Structure 1
Amino acid sequence: MPSPQSPESDGTPVEGGGPDNARGRRPDEPDGLDEAVLDAVFTQSAVGLHVLDRDLRVVRVNTVAAGMRGVPQEQVVGLPASEAYAPFADGVDESVLRDVLATGRPRREVLLRGRPPGDPDREHVFSTSTFRLTDRRGRTIGVVTTAVDVTQRERAEGRLRLLHAVRERIGQSLDVLRIVQDLADVTVPGFADSAVVALTDDVLRGEDPHLSPRIVAPLLRCAATAGSDGAGVLPRVGTILLPGLFGERLPGEPTLLPTESEGRALPTVLVASFTVRGRLLGAVVFHRRPTTSQFEREDLLLAADITARTATCLENSLRFSREHIVMTALQSWPRKQPETTRNALEVSQRHRHEGHGAGSWCDVIPLSSARVALVAGRVEQSGVSAVATMSQLRTAVHTLAALDLEPHELLARLHLTTRRLAREQRELSDVEEPSAGCAIAVHDPVSGLLDIARAGNCFLAITRPDGSVEPEPVPVGSLLGADGPPFPSRTYILQPGSTVCLASRSTGASSLPVEALTRALSHPRQPTESMADALERLLGPEEVLLVARTQRLPEDHVAAWDLPADPAAVADARRLAGRCLEGWGTPADRFTVELVVSELVTNAIRYGAPPIALRLVRQPHLLTCEVEDASMTAPYLRHARESDEGGRGLYICASLTDSWGTRYTASGKTVWAAVGLPQPESDRRGG
């Protein structure tokens, strides 16, 4: 078969040799090899060949090539390129052909999309390359274009790109509605013309899903849509979807549902469900118009990957919801102020809760002799582990506070507890070791003393009755679990009506601006609730706040006597306590109080050191008996034998009182015992 000739070519051999020599033909080369190769390429090659002359008219094509199958050669030969290849969606860019014709620079790997006449139901992608043709004298006679069907390659690459986009986008949020909306948005229009995502009511409520039914498709609620189905309006979000949308039975694996179009069944609907360990979370239906390429087997595999990713993200969201409920239960602020602290402080609490589980906490802890401890802290990490650590630290604070430790000493013990928790977590998992900030203030309503200590940069401020504010009464200390003690501490004497403010704050946090807080605190006559409302707007996420207004116990609620270190003073102490109870009219058992006072004074005279003092502190629900001496020797509870003549003093006190303990000062120790007072019937009923 002769090759196409240019009209300007006269077939004259090139000077210097015959035609065979001009082509560099070997002597042993068989005759007609060029024609045989050209014939084989045009009749047997799967690569499409399209020869155009200088006017860009089709001269010859190989009809067996992909894209031109089933098209007689005479239908395209002689036609301009723009008309011959009109079935392709993008058409033919004649400017590219003319550029190759003029410059000789080939154009390679140009993608062309369209529906060839041999397969009008599917869109194909062809990779085309164009080269200039010249005759033996170097004159331009036209261009030749090769076309290779790369539809499967392009679709495979498109599926990979879509899967990458799915993994990048779906799962960035822990909100179930956001997850399914991201699924719909990322698959339309790249994978389908429209998508409808539905979830079960259990998932929408944040509850554990039930096992997937095996008989019929369940009722699902529309959660997200995207695109247009080309036939009608997509369902609105929130509406209940009938099972027919997903077929008579909800498939366990992605399934194609054929639809009728112009008398043909076309696979244009793909249904897949979201299941995790046999539990149904929801389903999705993808729809393609008949004019779009139908779904293929590879699309089912891609849909399986997409739904598996979505189901995992939905399960993570449900797990987060459950953890959020746990964190909310563990971190339910504010708590009610204990009744036994109302004579010492008027307290208001706030918590800016956002569900992150930062592990912030605050406490109002009643101590011996009407004293009250205010505590605010924050674990530096976040999540359920941080809330669990917060609960452990909060329990440790309550336990250590019962020992009547000074604030800086309490923080030192709490630091050791934090280090122990860090070692345990390091052994069990690779989570970040916990550290925490904490501020403690202990107020004595009898003397007006305020002992404060600070670990980390938790906010701590004091407002005087005249409106002056001290925003940093102690410097920032090291974190609990980090460098350790000593922690900064200081002691103040506060007038009644002073305000103490504590707030949790993470290290390096930009929240809680000191200037704004100082302005909000500089109104000492405001009620604590109003002051807390103003300060709450300045809190950062997951921060807690305590605002406490100090009070003094009335003078007639405290009685104190100095006693000589003489055993005869025990009887005097009993009489003084009995007369004090009569004068107060306190409904306490006189015999119990006198016996407790007798035992405490006896221990101080026998085992302590002068000076010795007796003090009674009266509260609405409690009467505290205290004996102070200059010895640092701590008493301990022991069980005496039948033959022992002593050693029963503290055992008697512990049996007759609600609680007892020892606290130390710079000048000695104080042994105390608290006797509960009977309450009126209305108080016991909460009236």
Structure 2
Amino acid sequence: MVAGRRITHDVESPNPFDMSGDSLTARAAVDEHGVIIEWSEGARRLLGYSSAQVIGRPAADLLDEEISAEAMRRLRTLPRWTGTVRLRHQDGHGVEARLLAHHQREDDSAPHWLVLSPLAGSGAAEDPKELAAWSFYQASCCSMHAYDTDLRLRQANHYAERALNLTEAEMRGLRHAELVVHPEFDRVEQCMARVLETGEPQDVEVRVQVAGEIRKQAWSLSLYPIRDEGGELRGVGLSAHDMTEQYWAQKRLQLLNDAGARIGSTLSVARTAQELADVAVPEFADFATIDLLPDVERAEAAPSGDAMPGPTAEGSFVLRRVAQQSVLPGIAEAVLRPGEVDGYAANSPTAECLATGRAVLHAEFAPDSADWSVGHPGREESVRAFGIHSAMAVPLTARGHTLGVAVFLRHERPESFSEGDLLLAEEITARAAVCIDNARRYTRERETALALQRALLPQRLPVQPAVEAAFRYLPTDTLAGVGGDWFDLIPLSGARVALVVGDVVGHGVQASAIMGRLRTAVRTLADIDLPPDELLTHLDDLVIRLSADTDMDGASHSDQAAEMAAGLGATCLYAVYDPVSRVCAVASAGHPVPAVVSSGGAVDFLDVPAGPPLGLGGLPFETTEVTLPEGSLLVLYTDGLVESREQDIDEGTARLRSALASPATSLDDLCDTVLARVPPEHPADDIALLIARTQALDPRHVVTWGLPADPAVVARARKLVTAQLDAWNVQEASFVAELVVSELVTNAIRHAEPPIELRLLKGRHLICEVSDASSTAPHLRRARTYDEGGRGLLLVAQLSRGWGTRHNGTGKTIWAELALDSPESSPPATSTQNRP
């Protein structure tokens, strides 16, 4: 025994090479340390040692030659090794042994080497050539042929005889193209000639219908040169594998993919039904009919209750023909025209399908045994006249309601429908049923979504001094339905304005609801004066929370908007324009970049980092700042304007550039020009367009003073404000302005850090701003009777139209907006961020 090592005896270890009772192979196992851990009876016969004599000993003791340390190190890295080694027999003489060693690492056991060596007499007693001949003829997995250099068949196995319905004697001496007269066999023979010419193997795939088969077969052929022992080319070998089942399975998959692309391209019930019939014929049916319940084409929802429609007293059903298709010209089998109503007997496949709610397959359909005559007397006659021999009836069921039935028939093809055909028919019929039901519901849902959008989007833009703006919103009229595009214009403190445009992924009422949530969130975040990149970061977090909104049990939250947001996202572009500095700060969350039109008509697109779409999380957004001359046009839009199936985004962007360069008398006219010239005739997505002409405040209406952090400067600040208001001829605001400025400057001196700056802006209203280097924001509170402070901000809130705090890279700014009229007429502020 060797301490710390696994020692076993004559127990065969379970492994893929183990054959119980086999003594014609010497088999041993050696662990990673080179110690023998297993020893077979065959190994004893080879070297004479019993298992008790060798297990636990180093395997190197059995070698009759020296092996270098370098060779042993290389051996550890190999997955397998083979070669001849001289071993030492128990009686001392050397034994030349062919070894095959496998490095075992697959299972949970310790890694080891499995060493194998064939013993004398382990080879087959028969002639190997005779064994090869038996293998050739009896191969059950492929068709095998041998051709001479004249490409004449010399041998073919039993599988080839069955595949071609010819015996080897009947085929011998014929060329491959003569076995079956078909272009595919000619092509194979050309490839065989290429093998003789080049000596290189060839792979060929053929699809052919041979005599005695009712459907086309698919074969994968391997052509290879046959050489004698001297290497001389003596002929061509052919090995053919039957791929028929895989071929037809692939055809069914292609048909299913085709159905997904072709069915449901419109919102017409009749058109969708016709698309189903067109997909089925001639791919797997010779004749197809689509019949619906008479009231299915109405727009209202399907009736509640049981999904199965009720039959008549006799068990028959009345249906309306909506679509049909045939391999015959003029759809000769049909006895009804689309739009006609007819009855179906209780024992017909159609009635059986509707009565049970399950697909019906009559693989071997006997027309004489079924009564189709209820309703139209010519139906039974047509079935017999055209020799319809196989039928399938599949219910059109969507959302628990049966809408009608699709019937598929064969009379030209000799093969009957199979279970695979039935599964395929059920798949494409289910897809069509959903599309038909969607068409009925579409109009009602679209009207609801449009009403919701009108309620959530701004109907007019607020009046503010920063920009003059115009907008357009164009909802799409496609199968996808109304989308979640939105826009907004939000007045900010300091006479600034935020311009927003966004796009929610998805369509319909739910997308509109999420759009409303995001628009509200943007207005709320804008109200606290966040920079564009920070605002988008908070908005990104909101979309992520909506996606992960679950209840305490882990089930989806009942909030429909949260359910819609799951797995979805949105894009957004947020821009802030300051009319004082004329600087526009822009950040994008995966949204198309805005265009800028100069006063001279030059059009450029801002170089704004794209940023990730909302809802991904963990990725940063970047703010880009650009100075816009007064009178510039800032154009924000959603991707539906410049991108569609009919044009890529580069083409759409070029068309937008051309439209914006056209002269226009007003912003409204420019909006109309853009919508007329840029998008395709039938946009695939909603379009939101917001165009703003930048304005600049008169420098004479902006004044700034730097103040020292000294309480004595408060009186000086009041005098500066009074003098400036006298210069602006708005003396009526002096009293309130002095009080507000006094409180704001006092708070900055007591609680903040220098430098302190006072700024006044005169527009429609008077804005007082005090900036400092502290990032701590003040909070409104109600002072108690004996408190010495706590009344300043309350006084500011009562005297101003609105007040608040905004942060920047160097500190913060506290602002208050005052009405330029008597104090009594100004409404009191109701919150710390109250703005019109």
SS across alignment from 2:403: strand
Change (3 A) 1:486 1:312: closer
**Alpha-carbon distance between aligned partners in 1 of 2:670 and 2:321, rounded to the nearest angstrom:** 46
Change (3 A) 1:279 1:110: same
- Listed one character per residue, the Cα deviations across residues 408-438 of structure 1 (whole Å, up to 9, x for unaligned) are 443454455566667779x989999666654
Shift of 1:391: 5.7
**Alpha-carbon distance between aligned partners in 1 of 2:173 and 2:704, rounded to the nearest angstrom:** 117
Aligned position for 1:110: 211
Aligned position for 1:224: 323
Change (3 A) 1:418 1:280: closer
Structure 1 range deviating more: 595-604 or 427-436:
427-436
Aligned position for 1:22: none
Shift of 1:467: 2.3
1:628 has 2:628 as partner = no
CA contact (8 A) 2:638 2:688 kept: yes
Q: What letter is aligned with 1:370?
A: A
CA contact (8 A) 1:660 1:672 kept: yes
How many residues in Structure 1 have an aligned counterpart in Structure 2? 525
Aligned position for 2:49: none
SS across alignment from 1:664: strand
Change (3 A) 1:624 1:279: farther
Task: Kindly report which structure 2 residues correspond to 1:107-506, keeping only aligned pairs within 5 A, or say none.
Answer: 110-111=211-212, 167-172=256-261, 173-174=263-264, 175=266, 176-188=269-281, 191=285, 193=287, 195-198=289-292, 201=295, 205=299, 207-208=301-302, 210-211=304-305, 212-214=308-310, 216=312, 222-227=321-326, 230=332, 234-236=336-338, 239=339, 241-242=340-341, 244=343, 251-253=355-357, 257-259=371-373, 273-276=395-398, 278-284=400-406, 306=425, 309-315=428-434, 318=437, 335-341=458-464, 344-351=467-474, 353=476, 354=478, 355=480, 360-378=485-503, 393-414=518-539, 438-456=572-590, 458-474=592-608, 476=610, 481=616, 484-485=619-620, 487-495=622-630, 497-505=631-639
**Alpha-carbon distance between aligned partners in 2 of 1:266 and 1:279, rounded to the nearest angstrom:** 29
Shift of 1:464: 1.9
SS across alignment from 2:372: strand
Task: Kindly report which structure 2 residues correspond to 1:488-527, keeping only aligned pairs within 5 A, or say none.
Answer: 488-495=623-630, 497-505=631-639, 510-511=649-650, 514-523=653-662, 526-527=665-666
Q: What letter is aligned with 2:343?
A: G
Q: What letter is aligned with 2:273?
A: V
Q: What letter is aligned with 1:315?
A: V
Unaligned runs of 5+ in 2: 1-169, 181-208, 218-244, 361-369, 557-562, 827-836
CA contact (8 A) 2:595 2:634 kept: yes
Q: What letter is aligned with 2:624?
A: S
**Alpha-carbon distance between aligned partners in 2 of 1:584 and 1:219, rounded to the nearest angstrom:** 86
Change (3 A) 1:295 1:559: same
Which of 670, 695, 699 lines up with 1:531 in the alignment?
670
Change (3 A) 1:195 1:482: same
Shift of 1:197: 2.9
Q: What letter is aligned with 1:235?
A: R
Shift of 1:442: 1.4
Q: What letter is aligned with 1:494?
A: P
Q: What letter is aligned with 1:522?
A: A
**Alpha-carbon distance between aligned partners in 2 of 1:257 and 1:270, rounded to the nearest angstrom:** 16
**Alpha-carbon distance between aligned partners in 2 of 1:544 and 1:484, rounded to the nearest angstrom:** 26
Change (3 A) 1:162 1:223: farther
Shift of 1:366: 2.2
CA contact (8 A) 1:462 1:473 kept: no
SS across alignment from 1:170: helix
CA contact (8 A) 1:252 1:272 kept: no
Which of 617, 633, 641 lines up with 2:784 in the alignment?
641
**Alpha-carbon distance between aligned partners in 2 of 1:614 and 1:431, rounded to the nearest angstrom:** 44
SS across alignment from 1:244: strand
Shift of 1:386: 7.7
Change (3 A) 1:624 1:206: farther
Unaligned runs of 5+ in 1: 1-98, 114-124, 128-155, 680-687
CA contact (8 A) 1:197 1:282 kept: yes
- Listed one character per residue, the Cα deviations across residues 32-64 of structure 1 (whole Å, up to 9, x for unaligned) are xxxxxxxxxxxxxxxxxxxxxxxxxxxxxxxxx
SS across alignment from 2:336: coil
**Alpha-carbon distance between aligned partners in 1 of 2:538 and 2:345, rounded to the nearest angstrom:** 62
Aligned position for 1:660: 803
Change (3 A) 1:158 1:523: closer
SS across alignment from 1:439: strand
Shift of 1:316: 5.8
Shift of 1:662: 0.9
TM superposition score normalised by structure 2: 0.49
SS across alignment from 2:292: strand
CA contact (8 A) 1:274 1:280 kept: yes
CA contact (8 A) 2:392 2:408 kept: yes
TM superposition score normalised by structure 1: 0.58
Percent identity, aligned pairs only? 28
**Alpha-carbon distance between aligned partners in 2 of 1:643 and 1:219, rounded to the nearest angstrom:** 89
Shift of 1:453: 3.5
Structure 1 range deviating more: 505-514 or 469-478:
505-514
- Listed one character per residue, the Cα deviations across residues 219-259 of structure 1 (whole Å, up to 9, x for unaligned) are 865532324674776323xx3x4353677986344686433
CA contact (8 A) 2:394 2:405 kept: yes
CA contact (8 A) 1:170 1:183 kept: yes
Change (3 A) 1:204 1:312: farther
CA contact (8 A) 1:275 1:281 kept: yes
- Listed one character per residue, the Cα deviations across residues 640-668 of structure 1 (whole Å, up to 9, x for unaligned) are 33432321333454466664311234565
CA contact (8 A) 2:589 2:621 kept: no
